[in-house]
Amino acid sequence: MARWMSAKGARNIVLVSRRASINDKVQALIDDLAAEQTLVTVKACDVISKASVETLIKEDMKDLPPVRGVVHGAMVLRDMLFENMTLDDFQSVAENKVEGAWNFHEVLSGTPLDFFIALSSVAGVIGNRGQAAYAAANVFLDEFMAYRRSHGLPGTTIDLTAVSDAGYLADVDVKRLQEVLKNIGSDTMDEGEVLALFGAALTGDLDRSCSGQSITGLSLRTTLDHFWAQDAKFSDLYAAAKEKLSSGTGAAGGPSVPLDVQLHEAESKEVALQICYQALAAKLAQVLQISLEDMDPSVTVSSLGLDSLVAIEIRNWIAREANANVQVLELLSSGSLMALAEIILSKSQT
């Protein structure tokens, strides 16, 4: 992002972190941009402390030109189920986004800014299993920037989906990447797309086209099998996608009829049971990352080793795809996959 800003004419860029550490990547950035007549400075600041932000702006940066814009990209991740979360756990994840945005807002209240951009996450829109605090913090950023705009101040949020070739996910292993993608259930984007959105935010085009909040990654072009798809706020999107997929116009590979439609149109209970079992087996194979060939009707649910997050995901999938309310305990103790399919079919409201 700093390289992009330099190419667009930025001549002073300040990178802020708690320790102001300069690793090989940062040093290479400093050296490269110096050749482009852009000064990159690294400063120490704990953004959750208003005093630290004041020191940064009023003392550490006093020899630099006035601040013209802020890009707030702080992030802390901690995987934890909500029921196991303490207040300290919540605050350790949320405060860098929440307090950081508020402190820059207050300390720079007398400084005319051209932009104030928060790098938020689509997790704040759809939720993210095991990341409730992170999702909540991003909801705050979306609403806080709306608050700034309501007062005539610049404020834009870019709700990023997973970025495949830069940043956090580019540095983690493949297994972790797969876990993240499974949780958010949305399309990825690349660095070029992020920079395009960032450029639109700087010019104000994003404010005009998206009212200051850009949500990325949500797509139902080829499947309705996303945990967020039947959330009420996506009802129009879901209905339109379901109609397209039912008619076979939504997927490049041909028709993809939703499960509840298949169950409703089945010519007999036996046929409906087979359809339900096949869909269930395919979903479990996908989530557990095992071969569908290893599944058969006699395989027990307990033998698959479902953890609580996966069990919740399967329960939610059953609710939205088969329109059936199956509790997690009932799912885990159902016996064989075919027995679970029978439970689903008996409870389906289609």
The reply to whether 181 and 325 lie within a common domain is no
pLDDT greater at residue 183 or residue 246: 246
pTM: 0.68
Q: For 159-195, how does the pLDDT look when each residue is reduced to its tens digit (9 = 90+)?
A: 998 786 665 555 655 566 566 666 666 667 778 788 8
Containing structural domain, residue 67: 45-215
Query: What stretch of H or E contains 92?
Result: helix 87-107
Q: What is the pLDDT of residue 28?
A: 94
Q: What is the CATH number of the domain that holds 265?
A: 1.10.1200.10
The mean pLDDT of 138-146, rounded to a whole number, is 96
Q: What is the CATH number of the domain that holds 120?
A: 3.40.50.720
Number of domains in the chain: 2
- The answer to whether residue 251 scores a pLDDT higher than 50 is no
293 lies in a domain?
yes
Q: What is the pLDDT of residue 13?
A: 96
4 lies in a domain?
no
245 lies in a domain?
no
Could you list the beta-strand ranges (E) of 174-220.
213-215
Q: In the structure, what pLDDT confidence band is assigned to residue 255 with cuts at 50, 70 and 90?
A: very low
Residue type, 278: Q
Average pLDDT for the chain: 85
The reply to whether 209 and 118 lie within a common domain is yes
25 lies in a domain?
no
The reply to whether 70 and 173 lie within a common domain is yes
Give dist(CA 11, CA 7) in Å, integer: 9
Q: What is the pLDDT of residue 262?
A: 86
If DSSP codes are grouped into helix, strand and coil, which group holds residue 210?
helix
